[in-house]
Amino acid sequence: MKYQSIIIESNSAELSQIKQILKDNFGISEIKDINIKLVQKPEDKESIGIGEVNNLAEWAFRKNEEIRLLIIERAELLTDQAQNSLLKLVEEPPENILVIFICQNPNLILTTILSRCLVIKGEFIEDKEYSKEEIINFISANYLERSRIIDKMVSESLKRNSASVFVESILKEKLERKDVKNIEEIQNVYRGIKRGVNLKLCFDYLNTLLD
């Protein structure tokens, strides 16, 4: 089956929100995580360029009878060149591929893309902000103290966006201190959070990395 590409007007790429939208609008209820490809802005860049979308067509045109999602987070940051390279996927999507743009303002998407997409209103989630003091206290705490903080955060229904902000703040603090111990592993925790990995598992692993 061929699906029309969609733009979800939202500041959140949470899979739970996306899956609910797909169920409500397309009747799609079962999607395996292995069939989800998430494209994000690289941490060291201000936009999503051609390099980040170059191999998406190859992935999309692989034969697969199961529904697959190509999710582009913060699609308003796609360069014009990157958007133009995605045009064929949007115009002539392969079988069982659904291209999803997550964008706060759809008017920032090129008209050639926008005119071919179904625009759906999503949720706007307010990100929790963390003070420098909170981040330093978390890094400096021992394993048990951090465990208690994590349990409290998770019990208060921590949002995925806020979780990613928290880990990103830890990364920035460590880099400011020129402390690169386990920095790549912490970056992987950040990516895992953005990709929909269980938050408790991500934070428990982060806790071990800060010891």
Q: What percent of the chain has pLDDT over 70?
A: 99
What is the model's pLDDT at position 159? 78
> Does one domain contain both 28 and 99?
yes
> Does one domain contain both 59 and 142?
no
Residues 6+ apart with CB under 8 A from 72: 39, 48, 53, 78, 86, 99, 100, 101, 102
> Does one domain contain both 18 and 86?
yes
| Residue 162 located in a structural domain | yes
Greater confidence (13 vs 10) lies with 10
**pLDDT tens per residue across span 95-130:** 889 999 999 889 889 999 999 999 998 877 666 778
The domain tally of the chain equals 2
Assess whether pLDDT exceeds 80 at residue 166: yes
> Does one domain contain both 170 and 111?
no
> Does one domain contain both 95 and 31?
yes
**pLDDT tens per residue across span 183-206:** 999 999 988 887 778 889 999 999
Residue 174 lies in domain: 132-209
> Does one domain contain both 112 and 141?
no
> Does one domain contain both 107 and 62?
yes
Give the integer Cα–Cα distance in Å for 204 and 209.
9
Q: Is 197 helix (H, G, I), strand (E, B) or coil?
A: coil
Give the strand pairing for 118-121 and 6-9. Answer: parallel
| Residue 15 located in a structural domain | yes
> Does one domain contain both 21 and 113?
yes
Query: 62, 88, 121: which is the final residue of a domain?
Result: 121
> Does one domain contain both 115 and 63?
yes
> Does one domain contain both 17 and 109?
yes
- Cβ neighbours of 196 (radius 10 Å): 18
Query: 75, 101, 121: which is the final residue of a domain?
Result: 121
Whole-model pTM: value is 0.65
**pLDDT tens per residue across span 72-92:** 999 999 999 999 999 999 998
Give the integer Cα–Cα distance in Å for 202 and 162.
13
Q: Is 140 helix (H, G, I), strand (E, B) or coil?
A: helix
| Residue 71 located in a structural domain | yes
Q: Is 163 helix (H, G, I), strand (E, B) or coil?
A: helix
